Structure 1
Amino acid sequence: MSSSNGTTTSADRPIDVPFNIVNGNHSELIAYLVLNIWPSHFGLPLLLLVIMLSKKIQRSAAFLNMLVVWIIVGMCVLHQSKLELLMMESIYGTSRSSTLLLYAGKQSGEEPPKMLCLFQAALIYGMPPMTSTATLALVLQMFLSVRKAYLGEKLTPGDGILRTWLLLIAPYVALLLTVIATAVVGASNPSKISRNRRFFYCSVEADPLTDTMTVVAASILLATVILEIWTVVYLYRLSRTIKRTGGKVSSIIDLSFPIRIIAFGFYVMIALSLSLLSITTPRSPVPDLMISTAATVVIVIFGTQRDILHALFFWCHRPQPVKVVHEKQESIGTMSLPSRISIR
């Protein structure tokens, strides 16, 4: 029988288990798992493989790292569901043949072991810092490339190697620090660890932890927005300078990739803002579902570029005759720019 404070006294649920405060349903749970799992096991690995194997596609290390980060996110969600499904199987003696349905149908059943639940919560809590840091690294790399093009500086071999490595490891440092912090807080307060409090995953009820996560992630998102706006300003100034000299912007600057990065950056900003809101005031399943679409959005935005589509559907494109083009320099104001600026 349910009590007034949301706990139960029945054998199915211990009295100290928090009431499920997220109003989700069976279909939303299935959608959450599918949206996280299919990109990490098919879409993103395929996109990464195409870029790595094609000699005609060039992308920055920060972009490739972002793909890896979102693959890890999907893998963690799958690992989380597998661990809990195995636990449920041992409790209910149910076959593994319909794992998703079992997971969806038993979300109000017996709580998993505290350490297992804490492990899941630590991984899930580490996802927003890792993904937001990876997005910031990609936007920062784009900003530096655009600024270098605007200032007329040439990229030299070995330029920014240390910075590149710092950008690559930063997301994983953010993940590790968050996992450690969550594990320490959860281990110190086992009664605050619960799966039933959240609908999609285990959580730790600790305001200082979630408040700190919110502030840090919000700072990262703010830095991302500032860099994106700054990048747009640089691109606008560069475009105006080109037009004043009688040049054609589309023939000198390849804007496709920067525009896609900016669009994805704003999407991640909105999604992660909703996700952080769900940590502090978890009621609606919409924030969790919103952030679960991010990997699919990555595939749609970056997997539909012309060079990638040509590599995927190579049999549909006839090879064009090779033309010898002598690269020329165009003087723009005080800058001397090549005939084509490609920002990757």
Structure 2
Amino acid sequence: MNTTLPSLSIVHTFIALQLAGGIGMALILITTLFSSSAKRNGTWHSFCISWIVSALSYCLLFFAGQQTVYDKETPSYGLCLTQAALIYSTPPTTGATTFALFLDVYWKINTALSGGPIPSSSSHWILYIVPYILWIILTISFLVFGHVFPMTVQRDIANTYCVLNSTVPPVLTSVLVSIFALMVLTVLGTLFYRLKKSRSEQFAGFRNNRYLNAFFIRLILFMILGIIATCIGLVYAFNRTPGPQYDIAMAT
């Protein structure tokens, strides 16, 4: 385990980015919930909530006042185990909610273009519930893992949060994140092809529609982000301690 103290500026930057992301997502969520003009699907709300939980997980030591205290007694075992479990369970959850969001978008657009039946309400409930069932299962599993192997619960002081110093948790998390990222890319690619094909058939009169063009641009951006997420997952799978600088890049 690394014994070199991290730069406080790096720690503060990481926490600031996580707080900014969490607060920003919370404001977006509140706005869409109470605004009559900014309506969003349930999968969008689920997506926002998962990223808020992710940001809070990375800031757990900060909220406990133990982020920059470095001694053998800090943080406490229970707090460190809780954060480590959440750190490993939230990335697959955000991946699952992202996939659910774009699958929901694909269903709706495909239904509008083809005139087919609207997916049942039970299908939408699956999109809402399954990511958080996954989150609960993973969190409990990592808590049990840390309880059975307490020596793995560590806070590498060169990093900004607690970890489980074992191969299994980070590799499992990275593999799940990569799988969800690839699934998101598949849905986005299919949606992009479907819209591009329909654009020339049904939307010939709307080729200069700025909203449709903007939607295509967003799809391309999300595809790029999906590729980046896949690469991040693979990096974590093969490098379990990438260091605080990599954490900054991830938070950004």
Decide: shared fold, TM above 0.5.
Answer: yes
The residue that corresponds to 2:52 in the other structure is: 71
The C-alpha deviation readout for 1:179-232, integer Å capped at 9, x for no partner, is: 112112211111111102660111112213332222222211111111111111
Task: Tell me, yes or no, if the aligned pair for 1:126 and 1:179 is still in contact at 8 Å.
Answer: yes
Could you tell me how far 1:108 is from its partner in structure 2? 6.4
Question: Corresponding residue for 2:100?
Answer: 137
Whether the 8 Å CA contact 1:195–1:203 is kept in 2: the answer is: yes
Q: Is the 8 A contact 2:158 2:244 kept in 1?
A: no
Distance 1:248 1:116, change over 3 A: closer
Q: Which has the larger radius of gyration?
A: 1
1:57-68 to 2 correspondences below 5 Å:
57-68=38-49
- Residues 1:288 and 2:247 are matched in the alignment: yes
Change (3 A) 1:272 1:177: farther
Larger proportion of helix = 2
Match of 2:184 in 1: 224
Alignment-mate amino acid for residue 119 of structure 1: T
Structure 1 partner of 2:37:
56
Question: Hey, what does 1:263 align to over in structure 2?
Answer: 221
For residue 247 of structure 1, give the secondary structure of its aligned residue in structure 2. Answer: helix
Q: Work out whether residues 29 and 200 of structure 1, in 8 Å CA contact, stay in contact via their aligned partners in 2.
A: yes
In 1, Cα distance between equivalents of 2:189 and 2:233: 23
> What secondary structure is seen at the aligned counterpart in 2 of 1:196?
coil
In 1, distance between residues paired with 2:159 and 2:70?
A: 7
- Identity of matched residues, %: 22
* Alignment TM-score, normalising by the size of structure 2: 0.86
**Aligned residues: CA RMSD:** 2.7
Match of 1:333 in 2: none
In the TM superposition, what is the alpha-carbon distance from 1:129 to its structure 2 partner? 0.8
Cα 1:279–1:109, aligned 2, differ >3 Å: closer, same or farther? farther
Relative to structure 1, the CA distance from residue 110 to residue 275 in structure 2 (aligned partners, 3 Å threshold; closer, same or farther) is farther
What TM-score comes out, normalization by structure 1 length? 0.65
Deviation at 1:278, TM superposition (A): 3.2
Structure 1, unpaired ranges of 5+? 1-17, 89-102, 294-344
Q: Specify the code of the residue in structure 2 equivalent to 1:57.
A: A
The alpha-carbon deviation at position 71 of structure 1 amounts to 1.7
**CA offsets per residue over residues 117-155 of structure 1, 9 Å max, x none?**
111100111120111111111111111122222313375
- What code does the residue aligned with 2:196 have? Y
Give the direction of change, closer, same or farther, for the CA distance of 1:198–1:121 in structure 2 (3 Å limit).
Answer: farther
Q: How far does residue 62 in structure 1 lie from its aligned partner after superposition?
A: 0.8
Look up the match of 2:134. 174
Name the CA shift for 1:280/1:108 in 2 (closer, same or farther; >3 Å): farther
5 Å-filtered alignment, 1:244-255, equals: 246-251=204-209, 254=212
80, 105, 116: which one pairs with 1:117? Answer: 80
Tell me which moved more, 257-266 or 27-36. Answer: 257-266
| Conserved? CA contact 1:108–1:196, under 8 Å | no
Q: Does 1:209 align with 2:196?
A: no
Structure 1 residues 26 and 228 mapped into 2: Cα distance closer, same or farther (>3 Å)? same
Instruction: Give the count of matched residue pairs.
Output: 251
Residue 31 in 1 paired to residue 13 in 2? yes
- The secondary structure found in structure 2 opposite 1:124 is helix
Over 3 Å counting, the alpha-carbon distance change for 1:29 and 1:253 in structure 2 is closer
Corresponding residue number in structure 2 for 1:277: 235
Deviation per CA, 1:62-110: give whole Å up to 9, x if none: 1122112212222233333222x2xx5xxxxxxxxxxxxxx34x44665
In the alignment, which residue of structure 2 is the partner of 1:19? 2
SS of the residue 2:222 aligns to? helix
Indicate if the aligned counterparts of 2:70 and 2:157 stay in contact, CA closer than 8 A.
no
1:146/1:250 CA distance change after superposition, 3 Å: farther
Contact 2:50–2:94 (8 Å) recurs in 1: yes
Q: Which shifted more, 135-144 or 64-73?
A: 64-73
Residue 255 and residue 141 in structure 1: after superposition, are their counterparts in 2 closer, same or farther (change >3 A)?
Answer: farther
